[in-house]
Amino acid sequence: MASALKAAALRHIRVPVSPTLPLNGSRLNLCGTVRSMSSHGDDHLTKEEVIDRVIDVLKSFPKVDSTKVTPEVHFHKDLGLDSLDTVEIVMALEEEFKLEIPDKEADKIDSCSLAIEYIYNHPMAG
């Protein structure tokens, strides 16, 4: 009984979407809506933008010598930061890119390149 209802409901929902769908006499343009729901395309950050902003966060950390910052630096080996400094930097990156990184994943980020990769690959980075 429930599955029959479900099938009926699904048949009802399966309405072809055309660019101009008349609705109560007015034309509702769904093209824009469909495009903005796409998970690919121009709304994701470019790699260059991610790199620039990650570098910027690093350089603004008081304990960091900004002349040493490159996209390849390791927080401990190259910048001499300790594990708690790294925790602070990752938190600052979460704020910068509006992300909530799970603790165990955040704990693995110990270099600029790892941070860049993680953020660039995150669909919610903003």
The distance of closest approach from Cβ of residue 11 to other proteins in the complex, given in angstroms and rounded to an integer, is 41
Could you give the string, one character per residue 50-69, with x where binding to other proteins holds by CB under 8 A and - elsewhere?
Answer: -------x--xxx-------
| Window 67-96: residues binding other proteins (CB under 8 A) | 83-84, 86-88, 90-92, 95-96
Q: Shortest Cβ distance from residue 75 to other proteins (Å)?
A: 12
Residue 125 in tokens:
């980075």
Number of residues that bind other proteins (CB under 8 A): 18
Burial (Cβ within 10 Å: 0-12, 13-18, ≥19) of residue 115: buried
Q: H or E element: which one contains 12?
A: helix 2-13
How many Cβ atoms sit within 10 Å of the Cβ of residue 92? Answer: 15
Residue 69, token pair as written in the block:
């910052």
Phi, psi at 19, each rounded to 5°: -55, -40
* Cβ nearer to other proteins, comparing 65 with 95: 95
Mark the segment that binds other proteins (CB under 8 A) among 3-11, 25-33, 44-52, 101-109. Answer: 101-109
d(CA 89, CA 106): 10
Residues that bind other proteins (CB under 8 A): 57, 60-62, 83-84, 86-88, 90-92, 95-96, 103-104, 106-107
Residues belonging to the active site: 82
